[in-house]
Amino acid sequence: MILEIAQIDVKAGLEPEFEANAAKAAPLFARAKGCKGMELQRSIENPRRYRLFVKWETVENHMVDFRRSEDFKEWRRLVGHCFEATPQVEHTRQVGTWV
């Protein structure tokens, strides 16, 4: 399992629109090949910063299958105008679990 972590900084005042449109986009991810779930969190210290966590079976499911899909274009149409800058994205693999 791969975890995509996208740090998204949102333009001031567009936070409610971003959150609403991210919720609208959830079905796009749900039907994506290899997607096993997603979660959006908002920073307390920096309330214009969000982190999108998406579980994928493989990196290719995200970077190839989803990124080349019409659903990705729709995701960007829904939320892209809210971005302050290009989101920073990385992929991680769990190496341990404690407590």
DSSP helix/strand/coil, 17: helix
Structure-block tokens of residue 63: 């970077």
Note whether residue 51 is domain-resident: yes
Overall number of domains in the chain? 1
CATH code: domain of residue 76: 3.30.70.100
Q: What is the mean pLDDT of residues 44-60?
A: 98
Residue 91 is predicted with a pLDDT of 98
Q: What pTM does this model have?
A: 0.94
Please state the rounded mean pLDDT for residues 19-46: 98
Considering the domain boundaries, does residue 75 fall inside one?
A: yes
Residue 64 forms part of a structural domain:
yes
With respect to residue 32, please indicate whether it lies within any of the assigned structural domains. Answer: yes
User: Does residue 78 fall inside a structural domain?
Assistant: yes
Q: How confident is the model at residue 61 (pLDDT cuts 50, 70, 90)?
A: very high
Judge whether 81 lies within some domain: yes
Does residue 77 fall inside a structural domain? Answer: yes
How many angstroms separate the CA atoms of 19 and 10, rounded? Answer: 10
Supply the range of the domain harboring residue 10.
2-92
Confidence class for position 17, pLDDT limits 50, 70, 90: very high
Question: How far apart, in whole angstroms, are the C-alpha atoms of residue 86 and residue 9?
Answer: 8
